[in-house]
């Protein structure tokens, strides 16, 4: 996963990587992105508002339901126009806030 971001056309995409947790071993992933932030989760509503303020067109969730239950709470608020799950839960979640 860590090298996939280097293949995005930077004239067409701004790659912003966001994490809910601070990782010690993500330097190479950070280097592949245009912008890397750690989003602290004070509440699902506050983070959904932050995502909307960041004006993301596509939100790709890598942990799916394997992460934290806050992920589903945040995504149910539909903070981005297109939300997809990748890697963490590769089949349909059945949730209306994910595209399949």
| Rounded average pLDDT per 10-residue block, the chain, 100 residues | 77 82 67 79 87 87 67 86 73 61
pLDDT at 100: 47
Q: What is the C-alpha to C-alpha distance for residues 77 and 9, in angstroms, rounded to an integer?
A: 29
pLDDT at 27: 67
Bin 61: left if φ > 0, else alpha if -120 < ψ < 50, else beta. Answer: beta
pLDDT at 72: 80
**Collapsing DSSP states into helix, strand and coil, what is residue 35?**
strand
pLDDT at 76: 86
Backbone φ, ψ for residue 92 (5° rounding): -65, 135
pLDDT at 73: 84
Among residues 28, 30, 47, 31, which one has the least CA distance to residue 39? 47
Contacts of 60 (CB under 8 A, 6+ apart): 84, 85, 86
């Amino acid at each position: 996963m860590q090298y996939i971001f280097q293949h995005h056309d930077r004239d067409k995409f701004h790659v912003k990587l966001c994490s809910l947790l601070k990782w010690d071993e993500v330097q190479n992933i950070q280097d592949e992105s245009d912008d890397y932030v750690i989003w602290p989760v004070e509440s699902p509503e506050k983070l959904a508002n932050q995502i909307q303020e960041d004006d993301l067109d596509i939100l790709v969730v890598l942990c799916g339901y394997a992460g934290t239950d806050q992920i589903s709470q945040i995504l149910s608020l539909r903070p981005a126009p297109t939300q997809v799950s990748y890697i963490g839960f590769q089949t349909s979640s059945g949730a209306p806030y994910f595209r399949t």
